[in-house]
Structure 1
Amino acid sequence: MKPVSWARSPLRRLGSVAWGSFWSVPIAMLVATLVIVAVLLWLDAVGASTALANQGWPLAIPGKAAQELASSLVAVHVALIALYFSITLLVLTLAGGTLGVRLIDIWIARRLTRVTLGLLLSGLAASLIALLAVDPDASGAHVARLTLVVLTAATILLLGWLAMALHDLARTIHIDTVIAYLRRRIVDDASAFSDVVAPPVDTDWTRGAVIAAPRSGFVESIDFGSLVRAAQRLDVRIEVSALPGDYRIKGEALGRIVGARTDDEHLTKHFALSGYRSASEGSSFTVRLLVEIAARALSPAVNDFYTALACVDALGSAMTAQGQLSQDAPWLGDEAGTARVHVAIEPFEDLFDAPLKALRHAAAQYPVVAIHLILMLCRARQLVGDPTVRDLLAAHAEATRAHGVQVAVFAPDGQAIDRAIAAPLPATD
């Protein structure tokens, strides 16, 4: 079973980077717009403009009026772009100060955001081309009536789209929306490997050669499928000891290889390294984002413990979903069922231990948050069956209790924290 989830392929990471680029979709839409405008101008040239003129008012636009309309459309689209960028910059600046700058990636990754930018840029480009194409002294095809009519209708529709996009922007960076989104990502990410081989193979990894990191950086993804095929081709067994989210200095071990051939230098290509953390790391990155939001909310500058409580709730769902997966380090096999790759990790502890410690330090100063964290750890503990996970959650609950009692200034607060660890919990199936 897959203990924690991550992006499995560097190709997926490259696709994520390309798709996550702020400009990828707008550029594609801009190119498509140029093609559409060219087709409209061609239709005008072969008779569409003259046919519209024969329809009379309001489609019989004279050349001078057509030029003024095209000029007005350019001004409207420039104003819309300026408005959208100004509001976006203001909102994201405020969000970066309260939520953290890493969460801006969530807004950039939204399809609606990039489509909106593409529509705005495409509208401006089409308006400029229409302005260039209109001949104010002409009366036939060179007035480009069809192009102007279509562009005017598209601009009216764009106004409605922009209103929706601005509303979506406000909702996207709303703190409760962000926390709910991060919670869903972690829970949905809790899935299992489909190619696990049993029983495990006894291997002396100390005899193996180290698969060294080719450069310093964060492990973003591991292409396990390609790694299994490479192990089959070389007739070796491979141990993976680096988790997505782990930082490796150049030369440190990503894993080990044992078998007939241990000199293949191309195995590192199955590990994607990046100079910075990103959402492609999967649950590891998302859990840390939740803790960062909670810690920032509990800072003296923000002092928003309701946000911290929401983050604790989200972490409770995440710990339960990840804790219910098998915690055994899996062996992955090839088509013949031969064990090839050993994912030698301690999944739940690696995913939650350090973040929970960081959250405890922030929550201990707030009795309400400390009590809520203790109760959530106890609730998650009763929903998972793995003894290792249960022991870890119990240890964090006890550490939070001891820390909260130690720093409590008001005696009743300390007593309430002390009692929380034995409080009755909601019934379960």
Structure 2
Amino acid sequence: MKKLLFWWSKLKSTFWFVPVWIIILGIALPFWLVYLDSMQAVDPKGAWKYLFPGSPDAAKNILSTIAGAMIGVAGTVFSITLVALTLASNQFGPRLIKNFMYDRINQTVLGTYVSLFIYCLIVLNTVKDTDEFEFTPVISVFFALVMTLANIVLLIVFIHHVANSIQADNIIGKISKNLSQNLKTLFPEEIGEAADSNFDLEKIRSNYSYNLSLKSDKEGYLQYVDGDRLMEEVLEKDLYLELYFRPGDYVFPGKEMGKLYSYSKLKEEELKTIQKSFLTGKTRTSEQDAEHAIHQMVEIAARALSPGVNDPYTAIACIDNLSNTIAYLTTVKFPSPYRLGKDNRLRIYANPLTFEGMMGAAFNAIRQYAKGNPPVIIHLMAAMATLSDFTEDKQQKQIINKHAKMILNLAKTSIDEESDLQDLQKRYDAINGLKK
């Protein structure tokens, strides 16, 4: 079931999903409205007669005008979208393009204009003006007029939305929001029941007669692990599995993803069944990859710190949002590497996310790119001070102190102003609880 939900999530995130459904609606709706016109004659009175077509020629002119305008505006919308994608790719990185492609407003606008174009063509084909038969779909034409007015408003909304969507602060805020939602889903991420106690892995391995490497049969990024199915397979075949990879890691055919321990030799079919629990693709996804959105944020900061852009305030905004993410992680329980089956035996030893790994993913690259940029270095140290105050866990404090020490070492080699160095030293001493 979870695997189906993963595929459904991927399907919904494609650029064409929403437009296709809107276009299908644009194809189905004229048949119903034309049928309504054929069953109910409309004879508008008073001011209403100026809004409804009075003859087949008038209906044809209206529908032709709307159809031509809609397909023209659809081309304009598509061009604006491509310009926004190009700007986003150049300024924020090509991996952020799909964030714009999956934007629901962009998809809705494009689908609505194409849908109305198709709608007008279908209704136009029903207008008849011959000696034997005359038919004017009054309701259908009026609906086309209403949708045209709505699409004009939608175009204004679209232009406003595109202008906002390429602003750095809005992009960073959206990524941060998606990251926060993703983390709340992933922590804790369990395959079976998590165990907190340590196990003697060597002793557990020695209990089994055979071991076999679990190798990838495809190349690409590991996108999804069907934990429920994997645990069922391991329990059914009475196995013990050690995993070396997690979602977000790159694998290629023949790469050892883990090792299986069994009491009897596994058949090739049984091994392939277990391999089906792992899904790979050409890009990273956020469903089970908590570091994916962090890397997107880091990429924005790294580009902002490049000599060609030199935008430290965008990098500082990224640091603030990443600090908020890490602050949340200080309050959650990270998943245990030990996974127990229903029989209360250790069945899977996983490669889980750790606080140290998340800290490294968030701040290592930014620190390395911040060399020679005092405002960013100072802000990094301030972020470490905030995180140190936020957590009460001694191990987490040690990890934060380690990053603070690396930031201080960077400052000593890239900042010439003595007062800036003294300020950083004071912040570092405060993190370590030192007083001078």
TM-score interval for Structure 1 and Structure 2 normalised by the shorter chain: 0.7 to 0.9
Q: Which residue of 2 aligns with 1:359?
A: 366
Paired AA for residue 49 in structure 2 = W
8 Å contact kept, 1:294–1:311? yes
Q: 143-152 or 181-190: which moved more?
A: 181-190
Using the TM superposition, give the Cα deviation of residue 77 of structure 1 relative to its aligned residue in structure 2, in angstroms: 0.7
User: Which 5+ residue runs of structure 1 have no aligned equivalent?
Assistant: 1-7
CA RMSD after TM alignment: 2.7
Distance verdict in 2 for CA 1:139–1:354, change over 3 Å = same
Q: Which residue of 1 aligns with 2:43?
A: 52
SS of the aligned residue for 1:218 comes to: strand
Distance verdict in 2 for CA 1:339–1:147, change over 3 Å = same
Matches of 1:102 and 1:421, distance apart in 2: 35
Matches of 2:292 and 2:53, distance apart in 1: 59
Q: 381-390 or 92-101: which moved more?
A: 381-390
1:247 lines up with 2:250 in the alignment: yes
SS of the aligned residue for 1:421 comes to: helix
After superposition, residues 342-381 of structure 1 pair within 5 angstroms as 342-345=349-352, 347-381=354-388
Q: 1:19 aligns with which of 12, 19, 29?
A: 12
Q: Which residue of 1 aligns with 2:193?
A: 196
SS of the aligned residue for 1:340 comes to: strand
Distance verdict in 2 for CA 1:395–1:375, change over 3 Å = same
1:222 lines up with 2:225 in the alignment: yes
8 Å contact kept, 1:67–1:136? no
8 Å contact kept, 1:74–1:128? yes
Using the TM superposition, give the Cα deviation of residue 335 of structure 1 relative to its aligned residue in structure 2, in angstroms: 4.0
TM-score by length of 1: 0.88
Identity percentage over the alignment?
23
Q: 1:73 aligns with which of 55, 63, 66?
A: 66
Distance verdict in 2 for CA 1:424–1:140, change over 3 Å = farther
Q: Which residue of 2 aligns with 1:417?
A: 424
Using the TM superposition, give the Cα deviation of residue 315 of structure 1 relative to its aligned residue in structure 2, in angstroms: 1.1
Aligned residues: 416
Q: 2:396 aligns with which of 389, 395, 410?
A: 389
Distance verdict in 2 for CA 1:367–1:423, change over 3 Å = farther
After superposition, residues 7-406 of structure 1 pair within 5 angstroms as 10-46=3-39, 48=40, 50-52=41-43, 57-58=49-50, 59-137=52-130, 142-188=135-181, 189-190=183-184, 191-193=187-189, 195-198=192-195, 199=197, 201-204=199-202, 208-261=211-264, 263=266, 264-265=270-271, 266-327=273-334, 329-345=336-352, 347-406=354-413
TM-score by length of 2: 0.87
Matches of 2:345 and 2:140, distance apart in 1: 64
8 Å contact kept, 1:113–1:165? yes
Q: Deviations over 1:80-137 (max 9, x none)?
A: 2123222222222222211122222222223232222221111111011122222355
User: Which 5+ residue runs of structure 2 have no aligned equivalent?
Assistant: none
Distance verdict in 2 for CA 1:416–1:42, change over 3 Å = same
Matches of 1:318 and 1:262, distance apart in 2: 45
SS of the aligned residue for 2:125 comes to: helix
SS of the aligned residue for 1:92 comes to: helix
Q: Deviations over 1:318-355 (max 9, x none)?
A: 11222333346343334454442222335223333255
Quick one: higher RCO (CA 8 Å, sep 6+), 1 or 2? 1
Paired AA for residue 21 in structure 1 = T
Paired AA for residue 314 in structure 1 = N
Paired AA for residue 345 in structure 1 = P
Matches of 1:54 and 1:17, distance apart in 2: 51
Distance verdict in 2 for CA 1:139–1:200, change over 3 Å = farther
Q: 317-326 or 125-134: which moved more?
A: 317-326
Matches of 2:357 and 2:5, distance apart in 1: 23
Matches of 2:400 and 2:224, distance apart in 1: 27
SS of the aligned residue for 2:42 comes to: helix
Distance verdict in 2 for CA 1:54–1:372, change over 3 Å = closer
Q: 305-314 or 380-389: which moved more?
A: 380-389
8 Å contact kept, 1:405–1:418? no
Matches of 2:154 and 2:290, distance apart in 1: 33
Matches of 2:238 and 2:311, distance apart in 1: 56
